[in-house]
Amino acid sequence: MNQLRRIMKKLNKAIVAFGVSAAMLATGFAGISTAYAATGEDATVTISNFVAGDELVGYRILDITSENSGATRDDDKFVYAVNAENRSALIAGLKKLVSVPDDATDADLIKLVLNNLTTSANVETFAKAFKAASPTAGPTITDETTSVNQGYYLFEQTELGKDDTYTKSKYLVVNVGKNGATVTLKNGTVSLEKKVADNGDPNAPEGQGENEMNDSADYAIGDTVPFQLTGTLPAEYDEYETFYYSFNDTMSAGLTFKADSVAVKSGATDLTECFTVTAATPITIATANLKACTAAASLTADSEIVVTYNAELNDNAVIGTAGNPNTANLTFSNNPYAQGTGDRGTTPDDKVVVFTWEFDGTKTFSIDPNDADLPVFQLTNNSTGAQYTLSVTKQPSGAYKFGVKGIDAGNYTLTETYTPAGFNKADDITFDIKPTHDVLADEPTAALVVTGDGVTQGTNGALATVLNEGGNKLPETGGMGTVALYTAGAAIVLFAGLGLTLAMKRRNA
């Protein structure tokens, strides 16, 4: 009986043990059911910020052999194997970051990848050495979504669909699991703004006041014209080891560049020593490597670089509303991989225009003048103080002309400073040349406005016809001069009458 009990007890233990084992086995099967074998399977890569013309190349560093959908961390979620085709390139890249044993296993390499490709600086250092080892590239991505084999990828942007003001995105490392992945392009942009300082009077329309920076301005020939260029840096500026940066400025024939006037700053920091000025066509104010200049060490992606310089409006200046255009652009390194020696982008041209005007006078006479002795005038800009001496000359047509080309906007007074014998001095004429011009425009224009008695508006400035009357002309209106003349005349008549009376009395006596 006791023997039977012992047999039954052992049997019960065996049944319990079997039940526990079965339960554990079932639990094990349940755990395995959440794992996903990924080797050779495709998944979708979506490119965020993609535009037509963008192109990327992916390099599969690690293969994903399985994926545990229940895990939250990549090192728990994915089981990796080193991609056989890129193993040697992977080691070359890692050696730029850490020490890699000669006998490193795949497990060692995978751990080094996951622990070290965690910052953009490390990724860039790795990527340059990795690519130098001639790895095998995966598919070229030219659409917003593309299917690729699942794996741990290094992505490189090789073409830009955006305009030349953008920079290529930096290297990106991304896990592409069974649910796919999104690659976000981080394209920086660079801009250039050109301005010209206006020397308008304090009463000028808003935006056209003295020394305000606009897209157009008025000046006189011979004046110094101040210009300003403002350039920005790309968002990835910190990723570059070398960075080419060149302001390119094209002057019209009516403007003479003053190379010794160039100054370059970023905020209060003087960067002039970082740049070389070439007074050619176009003018360049450039640095082959902004990163190498000590004065520029504090620059960041948020910094602006401001160039100021002067030019002189010369005798070749175009008069009137056609103006004297001046364009500038900015050439810069747009590929953080090439480190300043490769791809470059150029911003669109930004234009400003300098306008200048003229005064044309016609002289008429009431009697024939002596052509060797003609009047002289002075034209004064009451807004700037500029003065011009204008001599009347006889033209082949027989007309008598005087005038000046290349004057600034302003309030003017025309005064006859020399009047030939036999003629009366002409009255002064006061008038305004006050054009309106674009403060902010891609294609700046101006509208001429001339006002004042005795003048009319011409195509390129003010017109006036001035009459010189011959003879001794008396004043036509009252005043002390007229009173004096009348008084003197009356006295003469009175004395003449008294003289005649006295003479008659003597004769009669």
Computed on alpha carbons and rounded to an integer, the radius of gyration of the chain in Å comes to 44
Q: What is the pLDDT of residue 236?
A: 84
**Non-local CB neighbours of 471 within 8 Å, separated by 6+ positions:** 366, 367, 422, 424
Q: How far apart are the first and last CA of the chain?
A: 205
Is the pLDDT at 33 greater than 80, yes or no?
Answer: no
Say how many CA atoms lie within 13 Å of 59 toward its Cβ: 27
CB 43 within 8 A of CB 150: yes
| pLDDT at position 475 over 80 | no
DSSP 470: B
Indicate if the pLDDT at residue 10 is higher than 90. no
Q: What is the pLDDT of residue 451?
A: 96
Q: Confidence band (pLDDT; 50, 70, 90) for 211?
A: low
Kindly tell me the number of DSSP H helices and DSSP E strands found in the chain: 6, 34
List CB contacts of 397: < 8 A, sequence separation 6 or more: none
Asked if residue 7 has pLDDT above 60, the reply is no
DSSP 293: -
If one counts every other C-beta atom within 10 angstroms of the C-beta of residue 355, the result is 26
Q: What is the pLDDT of residue 474?
A: 47
Query: Which range (189-198, 346-355, 470-479) has the least confidence?
Result: 470-479
| Burial (CB count within 10 angstroms: exposed 0-12, middle 13-18, buried 19+), residue 257 | buried
Whether the Cβ atoms of residue 285 and residue 275 lie closer than 8 Å to each other: yes
Q: What is the mean pLDDT of the chain?
A: 84
Residue 246 predicted with pLDDT over 80 = yes
**Token representation of residue 432:** 């305004």
CA dihedral sign, ordered 286, 291, 294, 298: positive
Q: Work out the pLDDT band at 254, boundaries 50, 70, 90.
A: very high
Percentage of the chain beyond pLDDT 70 is 79
Q: Of the candidates 93, 186, 110, 107, which has an alpha carbon nearest to the alpha carbon of residue 151?
A: 110
Please, which pLDDT band fits residue 210 given cuts at 50, 70 and 90? low
Specify the range with the lowest mean pLDDT, choosing from 123-127, 273-277, 386-390. 123-127
Residue type, 154: L
Q: Determine the Cα–Cα distance for residues 446 and 460; give it in Å rounded to an integer.
A: 11
- Is the CA virtual torsion 46, 49, 55, 60 positive or negative? negative
Give the pLDDT score at 120: 81
How far from 352 is each of 195, 228, 323, 448, 464, CA to CA, in Å?
6, 10, 10, 17, 31
Please count the CA atoms within 13 angstroms of the CA of 232 that sit on its side-chain side.
15
Give 321: exposed, middle or buried? Use CB within 10 Å, 0-12, 13-18, 19+: middle
Three-state SS across 296-320? HCCCCCCCEEEEEEEEEECCCCCCC
Q: Is the dihedral of CA 196, 200, 206, 211 positive or negative?
A: positive
CA distance 450 to 491: 49
Does the structure show a pLDDT above 70 at 482?
A: no
Strand partners, 63: 81, 151
**Greater confidence, 269 or 208?**
269
pLDDT at 76: 63
User: How does pLDDT run across 325-343, given as a tens digit for each residue?
Assistant: 999 999 999 887 775 566 7
Distance of alpha carbon 357 from alpha carbon 323, whole angstroms: 9
Pairing of strands 276-278, 450-451: unpaired
Q: How far apart are CA 425 and CA 245, in angstroms?
A: 62
Task: Classify residue 196 by its DSSP letter.
Answer: E
For the segment 172-183, what is each residue's pLDDT rounded down to a tens digit? 999 999 999 999
Q: Which of residues 85 and 499 earns the better pLDDT score?
A: 85
Contact between 419 and 411 under an 8 Å Cβ cutoff? The reply is no
User: What percent of the chain is predicted at pLDDT more than 90?
Assistant: 65
Max CA-CA distance within the chain? 205
User: What is the per-residue pLDDT across 428-453, written as a single tens digit (0 to 9) for each?
Assistant: 999 999 999 888 888 999 999 999 99
Q: What is the pTM of this model?
A: 0.71
Structure tokens at 419: 């009047």
Type of residue numbered 200: G
**Rounded Cα distance, 310 and 325, in Å:** 15
Q: At 357, is the pLDDT very low, low, confident or very high (cuts 50, 70, 90)?
A: very high
- 238: DSSP letter: G
More confident residue, 404 or 158: 404
* Residue 68 or 333, more confident: 333
Contact between 219 and 226 under an 8 Å Cβ cutoff? The reply is: no
In the predicted model, is pLDDT for residue 25 greater than 70?
no
* pLDDT score of 304: 97
CA dist 377 and 388 (Å) reads 8
Q: What is the pLDDT of residue 472?
A: 57
Give the β-pairing of 42-48 and 181-184.
parallel
Over residues 29-43, the mean pLDDT reads: 56
Between these two residues, 472 and 487, which has the higher pLDDT value?
472
Residue 476 has a pLDDT of 45
Distance of CA 77 to the CA centre of its chain: 48
Residue 492 in this model has a pLDDT that exceeds 70:
no
The CA–CA distances, whole Å, from 103 to 91, 99, 100, 107, 282 equal: 11, 12, 8, 11, 58
Nearest to 193 by CA among 315, 85, 328, 95: 328
pLDDT at 21: 37
Q: Give residue 459's pLDDT band: very low, low, confident or very high (50, 70, 90).
A: very high
- Tokens at 71, concatenated: 């895990």
